[in-house]
Chain A
Amino acid sequence: MSTVAVEVVYRGIFQKTLARNIVRTIVFAARKEGKIGTAFGRYGDSPERNGIPAKQFAIVSDSPEELEENLAVYEAGEVDVTINVDDTMCKGIESWAWYGLQPINALTKPGGTLIVTSRQEADALIEDIHQKDSPFNLAIVPATTSFSGLWVYKDDHTDVRILGALAKVCPELVSLDSMVAALEDQGWGGLKLTSARNSFDRTTQRPVEPGEGNDETPFTFELLGWRAMEDGLVIRGIDGATGFRGGSLAEDYDPIRSNASGDTDYQPTRNSVFKKFSTRSMRPVINFETCIKCTLCWLQCPDTCFDVTPDGLYDANMDACCGCAVCEAVCPVPDCITMVNEAEFNDNDSQWEHWTRDKDGYEKWMTELIEVQKAHDADSERSHGYHSPGKYEAESESEVALTGDDD
């Protein structure tokens, strides 16, 4: 008698099909061994939003009665394996439905495994992953984060590589042979099966001890009871905008004219418990030296994340930025705003403050980041999904070469 629960943490739009392929194949593979299972997405999620962290689950049991026991709680309290298909979510995730940061390994049970697709080393990932009171294992599937669109799928073998790794780290779930048989049933063969088997052979686990990792306390907030809530579905507005970093606004401040002309510092109102940064897989890096103060980034940002600094520059607030890259697209100055892989950063600190404090240091930091990113771009590193016909085929080729080869 046993039940195994697996969750797949993925990014909305870009990875919905990937997550679905994984959880469904788990259930098919379990059927090969006479077990029964179910696969479902967390209903409170809204995976039709770019990049939003979301979850799908697969629950596998020996018998229908046992499955019912485990489904009596819809979202599992703990899982045997957490699969994270984008390493930037190691910093924690906030779903569309649930405001508060949840560590990536929050549901991973003591002694369970967190599988991450990443090109980073284990130590770098553990720096991001929140500490737990109990030990768990970290397994890395070496891969560039696989992003597709809602209607197109990049068949770069990430799905089968994860499933191969899963059979290795959680043998009580299903055997590799059952996993491969389930893949064959879905019409997959040849190199994809080789990828799954190679991933099984090559996957290793690194034990993570209690207390090891990121020691930040994830932000949370309290849900009110019905007696304390205001009647009539009313939510009070938050106190208005201020000058930069809470200063007072200029006397002749006008919300449109003043900001557009950049002659006053300004910071919009933000909800302190509604941060959206875990949606971000890339962030803008700004060259304040070449900024011409045209206001376009400030104007076009869908999340109002730019603060106007006292010197009329625009500082992207990293608690509010979703990483949509609109600012990079609308900026008329070459390389003034560059989207860089979120994995390169360990905090949400202000870039403008960094630049003001140490202009040379900032220049060096920024230049290095941009160079690394450009090198990655040439190698199809990380991007926001589908852009042109043939793109996925080209990207898949380099990915498959990572593990798809025969030894």
Chain B
Amino acid sequence: MATETLPQTEREELISGSEAIAIACSLADVDVITAYPIRPYDTVMQYVSKLKADGAFDCDFIVAESEHSQFEIVKHASAVGARTFCGSSGVGWFYAFEAITVTAGLRLPVVAMVGNRALDDPGAFGVEHNDAMAVRDLGWMLYWVGTAQEAFDIALLAWRIAEDPRVFLPMAISCDGSFLTHSQAIVNVPTQEQVDRFLPQYDRGRLQLHPDNPITVAPQVNEDWLMEIRRQTDDAMRRSSDVIREAYDEFKQLFGRGDDSPFIEEYMTEDADIVLVGMGTLAMPVRVAVRRMREQGKKVGFVRVKFFRPFATDEIREALSHCKAVGVIDRDYSYGSPSYGGVLFNEIRSALYTLDNRPLMQSFIAGLGGREVLVRDVEEMTSMVQDSIDSGQVKEENTWIGVRE
């Protein structure tokens, strides 16, 4: 619990997750922001340009001619020591991929917002997690946001964590299109003084590309060097867990809010027979369903995975080691994957493999393309998991929920 909370001088705003991140950009005094419009990410650039036009925020705001340029510009800006922000959605994020992949390799702490969107074609604006998920193996830290307040908070945390010299890795903040990017909720916005106390200046030190510090970045390397470089990035990702914990604890102390863990949120899991797992805003209907099922005496709990990278193997193992069965709700797909399960499902199943008492595991694909995950869908999934417990085996390892037959 918070011991040294600052005076309650935060102001209340009615804003979307996108607007929250734009305000975080201004309070974090980001130096370079690049933009290229695609829904739903474009809501952030709208708010950033408004703040700038209103004279409330001084930054280099560059509307690039494509997503690829957008991510190239922040990559280079980050190398010379500028604090950076950018973002995209769906296929826009994919168009920038050449720049995105090297950003992690060069250890540049770019912070990006991904407004989760289905990958066209077919043209669709609604949320799917496959877009952001594509960087999961590349050295980007990857966070899934639940509320507009959390979008604000994690943005501040993102620069703090990414720019820590022990880490120097980029971070993507994933916000479900519509539910976060286009819905306005009450958000507490701290003062500049509070933010300054939490967030130090970005100091790239000996790695800064500057005439006074002559260095070459990213020369050609072959098999003599590459594996060692990959191992360095791997080690940075391993180190990031402690940095995240440290930053999160300090954030909770200063601002007086936050969960027990920065990596996962547990909801009514202590005595649960069935634990559902998911990411992002589907937590809302799941929590409501869990409360209703609890009222009927069903022992159901929920784990919301917040950091997908780094994956909190130990915490997730601990949270899921006492239940009889786990149902993972993926807002993504992975065609031809093990058991045809979702991406999160297979990660979780892998993490639990070494447990002595492994729970039954069941995969659900739901809410694709922005389709709502309804309370009754959650109840249906839970009852299917209960059937597995009753019969002692999982008959259908993967089920698509809410699809018209």
Please report A residues at the B interface, Cβ cutoff 8 Å. 24, 27-28, 31, 36-41, 43-44, 68-69, 71-75, 223-227, 233
- How near does chain A come to B372, taking the closest CB pair, in angstroms? 5
Give 4 A-B pairs besides A39-B183, A40-B16, A69-B288 with Cβ atoms closer than 8 angstroms: A24-B14, A38-B184, A43-B40, A225-B403
- How near does chain A come to B53, taking the closest CB pair, in angstroms? 12
Q: Is B121 an interface residue (CB 8 A)?
A: yes
Does A41 contact B182, Cβ atoms closer than 8 Å? Answer: yes
- How near does chain A come to B394, taking the closest CB pair, in angstroms? 23
Q: Mark B268-292, 1 if CB is under 8 A from A, else 0.
A: 0000000000000000110111000
Does A24 contact B184, Cβ atoms closer than 8 Å? Answer: yes
Does A233 contact B125, Cβ atoms closer than 8 Å? Answer: no
Q: Is B106 an interface residue (CB 8 A)?
A: no
A43 in contact with B126 given A73-B372, A226-B405 (CB within 8 Å) = yes
Query: Which one of A44, A74, A226, A233 lies within 8 Å of B179 (CB-CB)?
Result: A74
Shortest Cβ distance from A67 into B: residue? B185
Docked complex Cα distance between A39 and B185 (Å): 7
Q: Which residues of B contact A225 (CB under 8 A)?
A: 403-405
Q: Mark B1-27, 1 if CB is under 8 A from A, else 0.
A: 000000000001010100000000000
Q: Which residues of B contact A40 (CB under 8 A)?
A: 16, 182-184
Shortest Cβ distance from B177 into A: residue? A43
Query: Which one of B12, B14, B404 lies within 8 Å of A226 (CB-CB)?
Result: B404
Does A31 contact B287, Cβ atoms closer than 8 Å? Answer: no
Q: Is B178 an interface residue (CB 8 A)?
A: yes
The 7 closest A-B pairs by CB, nearest first: A43-B178, A40-B183, A225-B404, A72-B285, A72-B288, A39-B184, A225-B405
- How near does chain A come to B368, taking the closest CB pair, in angstroms? 11
Docked complex Cα distance between A31 and B11 (Å): 13
- How near does chain A come to B183, taking the closest CB pair, in angstroms? 4
- Pull 24 A–B residue pairs with CB atoms less than 8 Å apart, ordered by A: A24-B14, A24-B184, A27-B184, A28-B14, A36-B186, A37-B186, A38-B183, A38-B184, A38-B186, A39-B14, A40-B16, A41-B182, A68-B284, A68-B287, A69-B288, A72-B374, A72-B375, A73-B285, A73-B375, A74-B178, A74-B179, A74-B372, A75-B372, A226-B404
Shortest Cβ distance from A225 into B: residue? B404
Q: Is B370 an interface residue (CB 8 A)?
A: yes
Please report B residues at the A interface, Cβ cutoff 8 Å. 12, 14, 16, 40, 121-122, 125-126, 177-179, 182-186, 284-285, 287-289, 370, 372, 374-375, 403-405
- How near does chain B come to A168, taking the closest CB pair, in angstroms? 23
Docked complex Cα distance between A144 and B186 (Å): 33
Q: Which residues of A contact B182 (CB under 8 A)?
A: 40-41, 43
Q: Which residues of B contact A233 (CB under 8 A)?
A: 121-122
Q: Which residues of A contact B403 (CB under 8 A)?
A: 225-226
- How near does chain B come to A29, taking the closest CB pair, in angstroms? 11
- How near does chain B come to A222, taking the closest CB pair, in angstroms? 10
Q: Which residues of A contact B287 (CB under 8 A)?
A: 68
Q: Which residues of A contact B404 (CB under 8 A)?
A: 223-226
- How near does chain A come to B109, taking the closest CB pair, in angstroms? 31
Docked complex Cα distance between A24 and B186 (Å): 11
Q: Which residues of A contact B125 (CB under 8 A)?
A: 43-44
Q: Which residues of A contact B179 (CB under 8 A)?
A: 74
- How near does chain B come to A254, taking the closest CB pair, in angstroms? 34
Does A71 contact B284, Cβ atoms closer than 8 Å? Answer: yes
Q: Which residues of B contact A73 (CB under 8 A)?
A: 285, 372, 374-375
A227 in contact with B186 given A43-B126, A68-B288 (CB within 8 Å) = no
Docked complex Cα distance between A24 and B184 (Å): 8
- How near does chain A come to B265, taking the closest CB pair, in angstroms? 14
- How near does chain B come to A27, taking the closest CB pair, in angstroms? 5
Q: Which residues of A contact B178 (CB under 8 A)?
A: 43, 74
Docked complex Cα distance between A37 and B182 (Å): 15
Docked complex Cα distance between A224 and B403 (Å): 11
Docked complex Cα distance between A312 and B370 (Å): 48
Q: Which residues of A contact B12 (CB under 8 A)?
A: 31
Shortest Cβ distance from A75 into B: residue? B372
Shortest Cβ distance from A23 into B: residue? B184
Q: Which residues of A contact B126 (CB under 8 A)?
A: 43-44
Q: Which residues of A contact B16 (CB under 8 A)?
A: 40
Q: Which residues of B contact A37 (CB under 8 A)?
A: 186
Shortest Cβ distance from A39 into B: residue? B184
Q: Which residues of B contact A71 (CB under 8 A)?
A: 284
- How near does chain A come to B154, taking the closest CB pair, in angstroms? 19
Docked complex Cα distance between A39 and B148 (Å): 12
- How near does chain A come to B402, taking the closest CB pair, in angstroms? 12
Docked complex Cα distance between A228 and B220 (Å): 53
Docked complex Cα distance between A24 and B185 (Å): 10
Shortest Cβ distance from B374 into A: residue? A73
- How near does chain B come to A235, taking the closest CB pair, in angstroms? 10
Docked complex Cα distance between A27 and B13 (Å): 11
Residue among B125, B177, B185, B405 with the most chain A CB within 10 A? B185
- How near does chain A come to B296, taking the closest CB pair, in angstroms? 16
Query: Which one of B185, B289, B374 lies within 8 Å of A38 (CB-CB)?
Result: B185
Docked complex Cα distance between A227 and B404 (Å): 9
- How near does chain A come to B367, taking the closest CB pair, in angstroms? 11
Docked complex Cα distance between A36 and B14 (Å): 10
Docked complex Cα distance between A225 and B284 (Å): 27
Q: Which residues of B contact A69 (CB under 8 A)?
A: 288
Residue among A28, A71, A225 with the most chain B CB within 10 A? A71
- How near does chain B come to A180, taking the closest CB pair, in angstroms? 18
Shortest Cβ distance from B288 into A: residue? A72
Q: Which residues of B contact A43 (CB under 8 A)?
A: 40, 125-126, 177-178, 182, 370
Docked complex Cα distance between A62 and B227 (Å): 57
- How near does chain B come to A20, taking the closest CB pair, in angstroms? 9
Q: Which residues of A contact B285 (CB under 8 A)?
A: 72-73
Q: Which residues of B contact A226 (CB under 8 A)?
A: 403-405
Q: Which residues of A contact B122 (CB under 8 A)?
A: 233
Docked complex Cα distance between A41 and B43 (Å): 13
- How near does chain B come to A223, taking the closest CB pair, in angstroms? 6
- How near does chain A come to B119, taking the closest CB pair, in angstroms? 13
Docked complex Cα distance between A21 and B81 (Å): 41
Docked complex Cα distance between A72 and B292 (Å): 12
- How near does chain B come to A34, taking the closest CB pair, in angstroms? 12
Shortest Cβ distance from B373 into A: residue? A72
Docked complex Cα distance between A225 and B405 (Å): 5
Docked complex Cα distance between A24 and B14 (Å): 8
Q: Which residues of A contact B284 (CB under 8 A)?
A: 68, 71-72
Q: Which residues of A contact B405 (CB under 8 A)?
A: 225-227
Docked complex Cα distance between A44 and B285 (Å): 19
Query: Which one of A27, A75, A227 lies within 8 Å of B14 (CB-CB)?
Result: A27
Docked complex Cα distance between A187 and B183 (Å): 23
Q: Which residues of B contact A223 (CB under 8 A)?
A: 404
Docked complex Cα distance between A315 and B168 (Å): 67
